[in-house]
Structure 1
Amino acid sequence: MKLTRNFKTIFKTLIAVVTVSVVFAACSKDRIEPQQVAGLSIIMAYPDTLSLDFIVDQTRVNDAKALNYNAKIDYLNLFPGTRRLGITKRNSNKLLMSENFNLKSGVGYSVFVIDTVKENTKKFLLTEDDLTAPAADKAKVRFINLSKDGGSLSLGIHDAETDLFTNKTFYEYTTFADVNPGESITFDIKENNAVKTTLPNVKIEKGKIYTIYAKGLQAAAIDSLKLGAAIYTHK
């Protein structure tokens, strides 16, 4: 299965079309057929020191580099329909876990790896991503709580009177909201108005789409795995 990484570009170019498609040459030299695609971005949010591989059906999608904590793979183009997503240890063929997801044509998704223990029910979080452009002179942001023991968390801009999003428990996420761009914005992640962690000095650019998520564990023994925050741009 061939995987390519230009779904966001395709989506932006063809946003007015009902279905997103790429064009590929069929067996006949003079025959061109449209092929529907879905987009899938992969984020490693499992707080561990393991080196992993991500599998789509039978294909390892990160051959060149291990999928370590905080790693991200930008949108891959996948055929729509039922896709089996899985995790293995680095360079292993044995699945630690896997799950089937139905991907719709023309839709961008983010899948977060949040556990590798088979007995735990929440292993992946799959979200549909709203890739439509923000309002004029705005950016778009959403918030996801991926900290198992972090409590019910809110996201706000430092010193702002009201929070952007409030009281999201583990595994909960918001829709995208328009925000003002800025050269150096500090985001606070809070529980009951007490700041638990911050994301300082972030450049938010107009026209771009961002996800901010709480990550890690309050009880982690390793500093790099403790409760924190991360941001990425949808591209």
Structure 2
Amino acid sequence: MKKDLFLYKGLLVLVCASSMLLSCKKNNNDSQAPAQSNLVIVNVAPKAGPLDITLAGKKLADKLAYGSYSGQPGAPYLSVSANAASSLKVATGSGTVVIDDKLKLEANKRYSLIVYDTLAKTGTSKLLYTLLPDDITPPAKGKSNIRFFHLSPNTPAVHIDIIKDKDSLRLTSTPAVYLTSATAVAEAARFSTINSGTYVIKVKITDSGNKLKTILVIPNVVLADQKIFTISLKGLSGLTDANTLGIHLIQHK
């Protein structure tokens, strides 16, 4: 009898322990954080002014200035909830919504959300954006990873030459045209590997005589060792104010 009672008590303890374990496991599953993505937000929309960017009802950027991006160089990414259809709203300082769309963000992925174009050019109250997947696997020692986008609305197709000492490299095998919805995003998002160092960037167009003409020279562009960069042509040709033609640089890592 005592032996049966002892076995009964033992089984009761085992059942209780199992119930508590299952309960804890369920609670842990219930309390798991939602899957996350990482997003860098970029404002290269001339004449649009500072922008407010909201994703899934959460404001990610408040008055993000033209020519700037979220975070800081080397750490620009914001953690956001992964979602197959996250509501994106971009508004000007006056509250005018210039982008209203949905983003598909996969878990554990990194993206660049680039807002560009200009309100004056479109004649409407809308801007453009592109969502680019970012592979920030660091390159080998002595190397940097770069990619280039043409985001100047009124500038024709360009060639981009980068020069270091006596070395010259053309980033564009064919003239780069203004980024549109027809651009193959996956291909455009790829990074190329070059030697790290301090470069001069030259932007060139083909003139009426079918010769290359340099329209912009940017000296002392540091592409640091084992870092990753996006280089964009921003602004408007023909202006001399803050919206003039220039180069925008994002350091992803």
TM-score of the aligned structures, taking structure 1 as reference length: 0.76
The residue aligned with 2:201 is: 187
Contact 1:199 1:230 survives alignment (8 Å): no
Determine whether 1:209 maps to 2:194: no
> Sequence identity of aligned pairs in percent?
24
Tell whether the 8 Å contact from 1:141 to 1:210 is kept in structure 2 after alignment. yes
User: Which structure has more helix as a fraction of its residues?
Assistant: 2
Deviations 1:141-194 (A, max 9, x none): 100000111111122213644412241100154621111111x31111222332
Give the drift of 1:28: 4.6
2:14 matched residue in structure 1: none
Q: What is the CA deviation profile of residues 50-100 of structure 1, one whole-angstrom value per residue up to 9, with x for unaligned ones?
A: 23211112122224xx212112012111122222222113374x5332111
Q: Write out aligned runs for 1:155-234 (5 A).
A: 155-158=160-163, 160-166=167-173, 167-171=175-179, 173=188, 175-182=190-197, 184-192=198-206, 193-220=212-239, 222-234=240-252
Bigger Rg, structure 1 or 2 = 2
Q: CA RMSD in A?
A: 2.7
Give the TM-score, by structure 2 length. 0.71
> Which residue identity lines up with residue 42 of structure 1 in the other structure?
I
Measure the CA separation in 2 of the matches of 1:137 and 1:32.
44
Is 1:96 paired with 2:98?
Answer: yes
Cα–Cα, structure 1 residues 97 and 78, in superposed 2: closer, same or farther, change >3 Å? Answer: same
Q: 1:115, 1:27 → 2: CA distance?
A: 49
The Cα shift of 1:223 comes to 2.0
Shift of 1:42: 0.6
The code of the aligned residue for 1:200 comes to P
Structure 2, unmatched stretches of 5+, are 1-24, 71-75, 207-211
- Aligned residue pairs total 205
1:122 Cα deviation after fit: 6.0
Letter in 2 for 1:234: H
Residues 167-176 or 137-146, more deviating = 167-176
